[in-house]
Structure 1
Amino acid sequence: MALAIKLFILSVLLTINNIATAEAKAVCQLQTQAELALTACMQTLDPATVPWVGLAGKPLMADNLNSGAAHWLRLDIDNANASDIRRLLAVGLPDAFFLAVFQAQNGRLATVYSIDQTTTFTQRPVINRFLYVPLTLAANAPTTLYLAYRTHGKTPLQARLLTAETLAQQDTKNDVLNGVLLGVLLVLAALLFFNHKGVGHAESRNYAGLIVFSLLFLGQVQGYNFQFLWPEQAAWNRFAPGLIGIGSVITHAWFSLRFLQVQQRFRRLYFSFVALIGLAFCSVPLYGNAYFTEWVSLLVVLYATVAVVAGVLAVRRHVPAARFYLLGALSLIVFNVVLMLLSIFGLNPFPMLSIFTYPKIAYILEPVFFIIAVLNQLRRFDEQKAELRVKRQAETELLVKAEQERLAALQEAKNQQLLLACASHDLSQPLASIRFAIDALRVREEADPVAQHINKTLDYAQGLIQGLIHQARQEIGDDQADRVLLFELFDRLHSEFATAAAKKGLRLDTVGSTIEIKGSALLLHRILSNLIGNAIRYSHKGRVLVGVRRRADAIEIQVLDSGVGLFAADCLALMSPFRQGQHRDEAGYGLGLFIVKTLCQQCHYELKVTSKLGKGSVFAIKIPLADCITER
């Protein structure tokens, strides 16, 4: 029984050994094909079994090859042709920390290719954005290639042989496709950033920044950055993927925070976003670390998970455009994280696709969904602005109407008082005549008591009538409009806006005036409130001054600020609804001056605007002297 067990174990070991030997002897047959995939004959080796140590002389990059970071592959190729064949060995990578290729042929072992962190783009044997090794394969003879390498994030090699003509054709096709993709992303970024609606909208600017990092990432994984942007900076190019990845995480997270309003809607998740952004910033100084790329990959996985969670929560709460955000985040995590990681670990579910095809798919789908989401937000923002415009106009019209009705009611009451006064005056005339008749009756002694009684009654009636006339005179007065004391109005405005000015480090000054004007105190207060509020919003230092200047035929109530100033073309345009100047403020709606102009027209005032860029603006309300009642 023991012998049988030993024989069974021995047979199993022999079977495993035969399988291993069969795998070790897997050979790729090269005939006349222009391209040959070498996946079937790729074998991972233990560095201790590699025969390069027996080479005459010390091989290149011995320090890298002796390090534990080096990975080794063996490729067995059999040239079945009767003549030597020249081919290019493609490894499927735009760059690597180091790569060495040794060729064993006809009993000799030689170094045919080597690059490290000091190899510039122009020093490559084949000038191309991807790495290619020129080979000469002997006729009717097997060739063994030994590859030692270290890649970004342990990206596996995808070895194949191809002719120079095939490479040229593939490069042309790939350059066209990549150019279309890069062009679309650039156009989208430009449309979002320079669009007159998007430039003032935070989500548009944030996503335009995200697209910039997406372009850099695509350029890096496709080799264009090293070829065109920094061809002589080999060391920098090795760590650029990690730094670009950190930039992508930061811009994507910032876009998500603003777009989904995470701080207001998902308080706990907000701290996760902030922690990841802080972690990304803190990782930048570590870019020279040997495992920096691996760390950034982990950071990307963590962030992608948080982004998807945020998208799911936003969809559940019916946040506008959240579905498109979630689809964009899912496309990013599926193609840029899941499928790439599976490919790195040799589990690529689509072997016909290169590992670098997945980022391109992600950056096609994700911008489509995100652009739809941003445009949806812009459309919703326009709808809100339209609704707000209607609401503000309605409020202004109601204010004006209420003021008109108040003045009309006041006028009607005064008219009634005047009518009563006139009637009282008319009644007093016949009463006076009766009094004269009573004086005539007093000459008769028997009529004197009756005359005295009638006289007292007339005194009482005339007293009532004179009281009514006096009351009507007081209520009607000499003027039928409100009286606005400017120094009282200025004091009220100062108390309302002094705190807001102080919070911005500004000084709000008012110059008191003894002028008293005729008009609506409510409308004049509304006009000046809008002007002072705008002056404080667009000033960042200095002061805001409110005062009065006398002109030949009018007075001007002026609001002066030391803000950013206005372009000449903006001074008139800003009086239209929802128009903001070049120095726009996201908190404003572009309605302030429009409301001021409307109210000035209602009051028959004139609005004047003068400004100098970088020095400030002057907003003046010109009131005719006919409306100035008196000075105190």
Structure 2
Amino acid sequence: MTRILHLWALLFFSLLATGIARAETVRLEPGQGIGDLKPHLVYESDPSASLADILNRFRSGKFSPTLKASLLETNYAPEAWAAVEIVNATLNDGRAPDPFVLTIDLPLVSELDAYVIRESGFTESLISYSIFEPFAPEDHSVTRLRTPVFDIAPQERVTLLVNFKFGPFQSFKMALETPVELEASAFASGITHTAFYAFTISCLIFFFGFHLAMKNWIGMLYAVQFGLGLAFIAYIDGLWFRFFFPDRPELQSSTGYFLLFALSGLGFVISGRSVATAGRETRLSIGLTALSALSIAGFGLSFFSPGTYVAFFGYVLLALMFISVFLAGRSWRRSEGPAHVSSELVSAFGTVLVVGLIALMVVGLETEILPVASTVKGIFSCLLIATMTGLTAHIVALRHKHANAVQAEIAALEAEAKRSRELLVAERNYTRARDLASLRQRQLATASHDLKQPITSLRLSFDHLADHMEPPVRQRLAEAFDYMEALSNSYLAETAPRNDGTETAESSDPTGEEDHAKKDIAITRAEPAETESYELSLVLDTVQQMFGEEAISKGLKLRRVTSTRKTAVPPMVLMRIASNLVSNAVKYTEKGKVLIGVRNRGQALELCVLDTGPGLTETEQQTFLKAYKKGSTSSGHGLGLSVCHDLAREHGLAFTCQSVKGRGTQFRLSLPASS
């Protein structure tokens, strides 16, 4: 009797243990997939086991509910198996099998094999992906891997087995979707990725352009570094492999390591330049700059040992780079002058937000609080906006301080001129300083005016895509564009002449020193290199793309007449003139059309911009060619025609205007033709 009781107890506990270890069966509702299979997966890590051994271990309940694959156990991609049992709960009433697609979102996975094992024992290979094979579009859905469509019949029970060889991330998402669900999720993912890259690229263009205009080299280096960061994110999303070298998989590893170590190396260079005292090298600046040699060494080592150890070394350098850039950035801002409170608040808020996202990502690796790929994009966006906003606010504050210092210097020169016996010399010095400050101010105002147009164009493109975005994303992007437009407008407003009757340096020149000031500035400019000939259609097409959306929104027809004629006028000069003319034409034309094209005039050419707007009188034409002169109903800054006139005069081009009040305006720019 005792032996029988022992046998029954042993049988009971064996069945209980088998029931506990065995993975749960996932039930498919009719016509629906499963958006997240990961909570139902069990795992086994044995690279040497065969598919049959893995299947037997799964069915005998030997899989673990947790993933046990360390990234640093060996200098090679860690490997693991994931399994789940699925039953189609659809009523078996003779209907056709249901189609499904398995999708896996695992950034930079090295290799992946997926199998479906049916109750009959038939094993079907769904996908066999390797990063060492050419890019196959049919294996991808935006940034995810996908299998071909496979069927699961009603009441059929199947086992899914997936073998991973991980890249730098073990965080993944797996879903079983119907073809309709896959199409919807792929569309949403495509819109999200497009919005992210469009937003970050527009921010980087503005960031670089602003600091280029301010001649702030540290700011421009930051913009380049964020450009490298965006390229690295694009590499994680697989865009480099998809678009640049789909048939050269051997470039995958070297490209990734180059971006990783270039990002840390440039960061150390920025740190070293930031802590250099008044342009002079210190031990700290030399040491930080020398750390970039470790990045170069790491990249060289990746050619001999492209495994997880070198990647981990790159991540350590990246962490050290972030710390050094943060501390060096604070040191640089303080060395340039007292840090503005807004700059400090933005930097502090950005730091807290980034640290919080990193903490959530690290703590939530097991529970997937935040997906790694999305968190990396969030961290990058926070760093970009915080750095761009804080650094720009600091530079603008320094400009105000510099302007106040210039005003104080001018006042001191005035007082000295009144007291000095050499009154003429003092007055010339005073006027010279004032003219130089005014001309510098005009240059900065023109740069802000030119930057405003591409920002407006990007804003219109964003508004066109906004309907497909989530409301929080749309609101954050709109706020960012509002801030960039407000910053550009405020800078233009600050550089405009005062309306209190005070005479500016450009409106009065009693000593005739303005020409000397202009010559001094011209001398400091490098002679431009000789421009190669190019087709004018390049400029015409670009201008039409920039203002096409704005014209459509006003109900106007913006036409351009293509031309194969060539010219050697610097393209940036011609682009600035054409964009200002078309911008004004679209802005002030209420109905009708705007036309841009080129006319042949013998050996010369004429770039023409015609509109059906309100037209200009002779007096208005002469008035609006001067800076900051505009009509009573104008919402602009009075710089567009002035910029065109000045650029044409500086490059020896004839700029004319023909207009009939109430019937439209025609602007003509004579250009030398090239063969």
Q: Mark the CA change 1:90 to 1:201 in structure 2 (over 3 Å): closer, same or farther.
A: same
Deviation at 1:86, TM superposition (A): 2.2
Q: Which residue matches 2:193? A: 178
Question: 1:349-390 CA distances to partner (integer Å, 9 max, x unpaired)?
Answer: x2xx43221122223322222222022122112112202321
- TM-score normalised per structure 2: 0.52
How do 1:507-522 and structure 2 match up within 5 A? Answer: none
Q: Which residue matches 2:115? A: 102
Q: Mark the CA change 1:343 to 1:89 in structure 2 (over 3 Å): closer, same or farther.
A: farther
> Secondary structure of the residue that 1:77 maps to in structure 2?
strand
Q: Which residue matches 1:26? A: 24
Q: Does 1:293 align with 2:316?
A: no
Q: Which residue matches 1:565? A: none
**Contact 1:35–1:166 (8 Å) recurs in 2:** no
Q: Mark the CA change 1:260 to 1:26 in structure 2 (over 3 Å): closer, same or farther.
A: farther
Question: Structure 1: which amino acid aligns with 2:353?
Answer: S
Q: Mark the CA change 1:613 to 1:383 in structure 2 (over 3 Å): closer, same or farther.
A: closer
Q: Mark the CA change 1:274 to 1:76 in structure 2 (over 3 Å): closer, same or farther.
A: farther
Deviation at 1:100, TM superposition (A): 1.4
> Secondary structure of the residue that 1:360 maps to in structure 2?
helix
> Secondary structure of the residue that 1:390 maps to in structure 2?
helix
**Contact 1:210–1:252 (8 Å) recurs in 2:** yes
How do 1:259-408 and structure 2 match up within 5 A? Answer: 273-274=288-289, 276-288=291-303, 289-291=306-308, 292-307=310-325, 319-320=339-340, 321-335=343-357, 337-344=358-365, 346-348=366-368, 350=369, 353-402=370-419, 404-405=420-421
> Secondary structure of the residue that 2:250 maps to in structure 1?
helix
Q: Does 1:69 align with 2:78?
A: yes
Q: Mark the CA change 1:80 to 1:378 in structure 2 (over 3 Å): closer, same or farther.
A: same
Question: 1:411-459 CA distances to partner (integer Å, 9 max, x unpaired)?
Answer: xxxxxxxxxxxxxxxxxxxxxxxxxxxxxxxxxxxxxxxxxxxxxxxxx
How do 1:25-104 and structure 2 match up within 5 A? Answer: 25-32=23-30, 33-47=32-46, 50-52=49-51, 69-81=78-90, 82=92, 83-104=96-117
Q: Does 1:200 align with 2:215?
A: yes
> Secondary structure of the residue that 1:159 maps to in structure 2?
strand
CA distance in 1, matches of 2:197, 2:516: 56
**Contact 1:311–1:322 (8 Å) recurs in 2:** no
Which of 119, 126, 134 matches 1:120? 134
> Secondary structure of the residue that 1:143 maps to in structure 2?
strand
- Structure 1: where are the runs of 5+ without partners? 1-6, 56-66, 409-518, 532-571, 585-593, 617-632
Question: Structure 2: which amino acid aligns with 1:52?
Answer: L
How do 1:388-467 and structure 2 match up within 5 A? Answer: 388-402=405-419, 404-405=420-421
CA distance in 2, matches of 1:142, 1:136: 11
Deviation at 1:173, TM superposition (A): 1.9
**Contact 1:213–1:248 (8 Å) recurs in 2:** yes
CA distance in 2, matches of 1:254, 1:224: 28
Deviation at 1:34, TM superposition (A): 3.4
Question: Structure 2: which amino acid aligns with 1:359?
Answer: V
**Contact 1:203–1:374 (8 Å) recurs in 2:** no
**Contact 2:140–2:146 (8 Å) recurs in 1:** yes
Q: Mark the CA change 1:21 to 1:244 in structure 2 (over 3 Å): closer, same or farther.
A: farther
> Secondary structure of the residue that 2:136 maps to in structure 1?
helix
Which of 224, 233, 241 matches 1:209? 224
Identity %: 14
> Secondary structure of the residue that 2:372 maps to in structure 1?
coil
Please identify, of 83-92 and 244-253, the stretch whose mean Cα deviation from structure 2 is larger.
244-253
CA distance in 1, matches of 2:153, 2:516: 97
Q: CA RMSD in A?
A: 4.8
**Contact 1:250–1:277 (8 Å) recurs in 2:** yes
Deviation at 1:38, TM superposition (A): 1.2
Q: Mark the CA change 1:607 to 1:144 in structure 2 (over 3 Å): closer, same or farther.
A: closer
Deviation at 1:19, TM superposition (A): 5.4
- TM-score normalised per structure 1: 0.56
In the alignment of these two chains, the number of paired residues is 424
> Secondary structure of the residue that 2:171 maps to in structure 1?
coil
* Structure with the greater alpha carbon radius of gyration: 1
**Contact 1:198–1:378 (8 Å) recurs in 2:** no
Q: Which residue matches 2:439? A: 576
> Secondary structure of the residue that 1:35 maps to in structure 2?
coil
Deviation at 1:199, TM superposition (A): 4.9
Deviation at 1:90, TM superposition (A): 1.5
